[in-house]
Chain A
Amino acid sequence: MNDYVIAAYAIGLLLLWGYAASMWLECRAVARRHVHVRKTEGGQP
């Protein structure tokens, strides 16, 4: 396989899946935040 093709797919897939991974981490942080809010308000987490 040509080096240019490998570079294009590596960069392209990294940009796409990297963004997906960053959102996954953001979702986890949001979930923790909301669980924390529920706990501090005396509700069920």
Chain B
Amino acid sequence: MSGTQSKLVRNFWIALALLFAADLVLIVHYTPDERSMGAIQKIFYLHLPVAINTFLACLTAFVASIAYLWQRKSWWDDLAAAAARVAVQLCAVVLATGMIWGRAAWGVWWTWSPRLTFSLILFLLYVVYLVVRSSVEGRERRAVIGSVYAIIAFLDVPLVWLSARLLPDIHPGSVQLEPAMKLTLAASFVPVTLLAAGLVFTRFVLNRTDSVPRNSAQANPPRDIPTMPLIAGVKAIRYTDGAL
């Protein structure tokens, strides 16, 4: 990775940290408290953007899995695995913030309402996806099994989305917001979405790197590896013509 790329990556993460800080200032000082719930409602500005990005990460894994089964290019599988791994992390945040919010608003940490249950199932489905991948021998076999699994696992996403709208649920299906709240919500989507994209991309690059043999005398790396990474602190990882 060239010095310019390294600086670009470092600046991206620094800018992202600053965006998060600015967003927190906006949430604390600018956004008014909601009338019925009070300050508790401010969890919403982290909870919803992370939840939407969880769906996007699952969608990425779904599309990449279909693309892998269609084209059989290994980087689609690496992208699916990266998106699924990030989806697990994001879903953990959704569940954690949701539980804290539930404890404050409903008086319980957990209730088996449709949306909460489908969200927990979504988390477990993608955890199992990672376990299945790590337990299957052979790169191609792992990719095929992982792709089929990721396609099936994605079916839970519309269930999470629709459950609170179609079924009786303590979890609200939609909310009414004042203009200042809408602005804060829109602003909160920016750092969370950029972070999710950065995490998926970084994980993808690491997955690609893992697919290259540690000793180049053992085998040649796959030809479809794009020019390698990335990442602040990494000096240079560039593959050219199958040689390290």
In the complex, B113 has a CB within 8 A of chain A = no
**Inter-subunit contact A27/B230 (CB<8 Å):** yes
Q: Measured between alpha carbons, how far is A16 from B40 in the docked complex, in Å?
A: 21
| CB interface residues, B 29-43, toward A, < 8 Å | 38-40, 42-43
Known: A15-B89, A20-B195, A37-B214. A8 touches B234 (CB 8 A): no
Contact B93 A27 (CB under 8 A): no
* Tally of B interface residues using CB under 8 Å: 45
The tally of residues in A whose CB lies under 8 Å from a CB in B reads 29
Secondary structure of the A side of the interface?
Answer: helix
Residues of A with Cβ closer than 8 Å to B? 1-2, 4-5, 7-9, 11-13, 15-16, 19-20, 23-24, 26-28, 30-31, 33-35, 37-38, 41, 43, 45
Knowing that A5-B39, A20-B202 are A-B contacts, what are 17 other residue pairs whose CB atoms are under 8 Å apart, sorted by A's residue number? A7-B100, A8-B47, A11-B97, A11-B100, A15-B92, A16-B50, A16-B89, A20-B195, A24-B231, A24-B233, A27-B232, A28-B233, A30-B206, A30-B234, A31-B235, A37-B214, A45-B235
